[in-house]
Structure 1
Amino acid sequence: MQAPPIAVQPPPQAAQPAGIARDPSRYYTPKQMQGRPLIRVALLLPFNSSRADVRALSTSLYNAAQLALFEFDNPNILLIPKATGGSAIGAQTAATEAVQEGADLILGPLFAEEVSAVAPVARGVNVPVVAFSTDITVAGNGVYLLSFQPAADVNRVVDYAMLQGMTKFAALFPQNDYGNRVRAVFEEAVSARAGHIVTEESYSGSPDGMTGPVQRLANYGGRHGALLAKRAELKAAGDTQGLKDLEKRDTIGDLGYQAVFVPEGGARLRALAPLLPYYDIDPRKVKYLGTGLWDDPSLQREPSLEGAWYPAPPPEAHEQFVARYTRVYGATPPRIASLAYDAVSLAVALSAKPEGERFTVETLTEPDGFAGVDGIFRFLPEGRTERGLAIMEMHGSGATVVDPAPTSFGVPPSL
């Protein structure tokens, strides 16, 4: 799974929009769809970003949206794509065009600053926004975040670890916005469940910036020093068997925690993970825990992650989505492409309701939620998304489910 988009300060900020008049006679209607009771759904993405990776991601999200539209085949749904440029001003302009063209619902945009700029435009004409940002500070007041949010990942994996008897934790956080957000959620999650964080460290993205924090987390200096002292003691006592037993050891002494939480993904996790066993954070004694960023097939080839746990949507439906996408477009979609598929699927499902009931607050926050290719989900009144996540265990042959995702929401939303 790709790292969630991180909010950055846009230069410059978009101005607050003036009131927008909606004229049904000017709503966008293709010639082949004239005469139909159209339901217009805008899709706002940074197709024209200056970054090639963002443009490619936008295309994949659009492809997934088109796939859902084709598979659910509602002839009255009109998907209106709009390019945001990846900026607040570009997103505001795209949203203004979309609502003037009659959008009943806005899907996207992708980045937090874009969502902040779109929200007042949409709110002014009572059009809800289902965005893909992970930053919960931009949710609410008509904005719902259909994304893989760090809080859901953290709470799920901490819950499961503590149910397995683990109460003492360590953590390694990246020095970025995502790391700061996850740290706050992790500390709250462990504290709320009467657990204890024994030690935590943060690291920069460079290999040199990872080594020191891992050594400190492992108390490597102290434990290595204890080994040298023990060897000297055994040598003085003439205990050759004791010395032989310690021949291949680098440290002695157990760590004071049962699990280590590593919210990282991709190439940086592949660089970081091998350092843990190298500095004697033994995966046979300490369980490695991750987030949804670990839901990445390339990480299965990392031996140091064997047996580690991480939260993820139930894999079966997503794997089927990937197979269909690959068959149609000839490429494997990025992990978050399914968000666009589920967003369009939701729009199509709700379009069956009578006009005036389709995209209301009551409909969007239905307590029973919805089912998508990433499992069940529901929007909470403040705009966050609650998901039914599985716990996966990492193996070289492929991740396996060790605790299935729920298939329904049996309790009221947690606020």
Structure 2
Amino acid sequence: MFAVFTSGCKLLRRIAMLLPILWLAACQTPGVGSSSGPSIDPNAPVPVALLVPHGSAVSNEAFLAKDLENAARLAVSDLNGVKIDLRVYATAGQAGLAQQVALRAVDEGAKIIIGPLHAGSANAVAVAVAPKGVNVLAFSNNPTIAGGNLFVLGQTFETTANRLVNFSTSQGKSRIMTVYANNLAGQLGRDAIAQAIANNGATPAGAVQYEFSQNGVVSSIPAIKQAAQSNQANAIFTTANAAGALPMFSEMLPEAGLGPDAMQYIGLSRWDTPRQTLSLPGVQNGWFALPDPQRSAQYRSRFETAYGNTPHAISGLAYDGIAAVGALVKSGKRNALTTSALTQGAGFQGVTGIFRLRKDGTNERGLAVATVRNQQVVVVSPAPSSFSGAGF
């Protein structure tokens, strides 16, 4: 158990080291506005640059790069009547190289950039191509890098928290307490939950922080129990995941008298991966969000048929990027790839459900709400098929 905390801390330290430069994409792009974006010829193939970590020294990234490229090519083949000139550029997972190839891609005619993978690389790319009026759809889910000409495609904490708090409130579980780790991911999750509580008219029932360590989790149990009782919480929303504190909380909170029979548990992370998470006592009857299961299954099946392997969990983001570009180009407008076009209220149809890009560079995705019953995932609220905002 303790080993996974150590691994998580290493990852979070890398993220924290990037924070001093993350705001550049949003703050140093004065030329980027609602009409930013190059003019295209909708009657000719539209050049699109795909930046993926081919050449990375990290083996997992090498496999992911292949899946991202294959997903993008699958999307191109699905565009009826729309011609995309997909051009693939290798970043090796390095910010400096990503910036270089992005500039080369724009010089070679790219009208939009999809990728790269890492937050630091995405930031470097966006800053470099902003003066050229080119937008970037990165594979990150980090909202701190979003803004200006940089959009993140990954599912954000904000979208997940808002969906779950909305559902929880509709089920009469509106006094929500937050349990979060005292690290970057935990704090971002805490803030997303707090905003979701405010957005949906729920009642904040306290927030308990725990040290991101084994001892930290153990010592936080009495404080969580006391806060839940004194604030009359009827739901606990935790940022913990299966690779971190979730297994311990799942065992220890029920033992402390806060079992699923007395408290509604809500998770900011997915509880269906890895599979053994479904057997944890504390997740039984709890709620978590996930992309449209039916569409996700269809995508996996098509990908496996086309390429012979199960796609990486985030490979669908490359498909979604191409799908969005294709839908906009199909309109036949020369300004199809401007910021205002990308942020249309209607959004787009992706392989895991609907999504739309927001003017602040973040995104909103249509998610399902699921629970765990008898160690099986059961959808209790299906993913929406459309957004209720502008465009419908």
TM-score grouping bracket, smaller chain normalisation: 0.7 to 0.9
Question: Are 2:347 and 1:369 equivalent residues in the alignment?
Answer: yes
AA matched with 1:351: V
Question: Are 2:264 and 1:267 equivalent residues in the alignment?
Answer: no
Gaps of 5+ in 2: 1-7, 29-42
Is the Cα contact below 8 Å between 1:393 and 1:402 reproduced in 2?
yes
Distance 2:336 2:238 in 1: 41
Tell me what 2:234 maps to.
Answer: 258
Is the Cα contact below 8 Å between 2:189 and 2:268 reproduced in 1?
no
Please point out which of 214, 218, 231 is paired with 1:211.
Answer: 218
Gaps of 5+ in 1: 18-35, 224-252
AA matched with 1:274: E
Is the Cα contact below 8 Å between 1:179 and 1:263 reproduced in 2?
yes
Tell me what 1:20 maps to.
Answer: none
Distance 2:171 2:304 in 1: 38
Question: Are 2:202 and 1:202 equivalent residues in the alignment?
Answer: no
AA matched with 2:387: F
Please point out which of 273, 278, 283 is paired with 2:260.
Answer: 283
Tell me what 1:293 maps to.
Answer: 270
Map of 1:113-152 to 2, 5 A cutoff?
Answer: 113-152=120-159
TM-score (norm 1): 0.77
What CA deviation, in whole Å up to 9, does each residue of 1:147-196 have, x standing for no partner?
A: 10111111111121122222322322133321111111222332452502
> Residues 65, 396 of structure 1: CA spacing in aligned structure 2 closer, same or farther, 3 A cutoff?
farther
RMSD across aligned C-alpha pairs, in angstroms?
3.1
Question: Are 2:317 and 1:339 equivalent residues in the alignment?
Answer: yes
What CA deviation, in whole Å up to 9, does each residue of 1:233-255 have, x standing for no partner?
A: xxxxxxxxxxxxxxxxxxxx898
For 1:210, what is the secondary structure of its paired residue? helix
AA matched with 1:277: P
The ranges of structure 1 where at least 4 consecutive aligned residues each deviate by more than 4 angstroms after the TM superposition are 10-17
Question: Are 2:162 and 1:155 equivalent residues in the alignment?
Answer: yes
Deviation at 1:116, TM superposition (A): 1.4
Tell me what 1:351 maps to.
Answer: 329
Tell me what 2:50 maps to.
Answer: 43
Tell me what 1:104 maps to.
Answer: 111
AA matched with 1:57: L
Tell me what 2:37 maps to.
Answer: none
Distance 1:166 1:13 in 2: 40
Please point out which of 56, 60, 67 is paired with 1:60.
Answer: 67
What's the % identity of the aligned pairs?
A: 31
For 2:218, what is the secondary structure of its paired residue? helix
* Structure of higher CA gyration radius: 1
Deviation at 1:105, TM superposition (A): 1.2
TM-score (norm 2): 0.81
> Residues 376, 11 of structure 1: CA spacing in aligned structure 2 closer, same or farther, 3 A cutoff?
closer
Distance 1:75 1:293 in 2: 35
Aligned length: 360
Tell me what 1:27 maps to.
Answer: none
Is the Cα contact below 8 Å between 1:314 and 1:375 reproduced in 2?
yes
Deviation at 1:290, TM superposition (A): 0.9
> Residues 345, 333 of structure 1: CA spacing in aligned structure 2 closer, same or farther, 3 A cutoff?
same
Tell me what 2:194 maps to.
Answer: 187
For 1:390, what is the secondary structure of its paired residue? strand
Map of 1:6-85 to 2, 5 A cutoff?
Answer: 7-9=15-17, 37-72=44-79, 76-85=83-92
AA matched with 1:144: F
Distance 2:18 2:81 in 1: 37
What CA deviation, in whole Å up to 9, does each residue of 1:302-359 have, x standing for no partner?
A: 3431111012222111111112223333332232221111112222333323362321
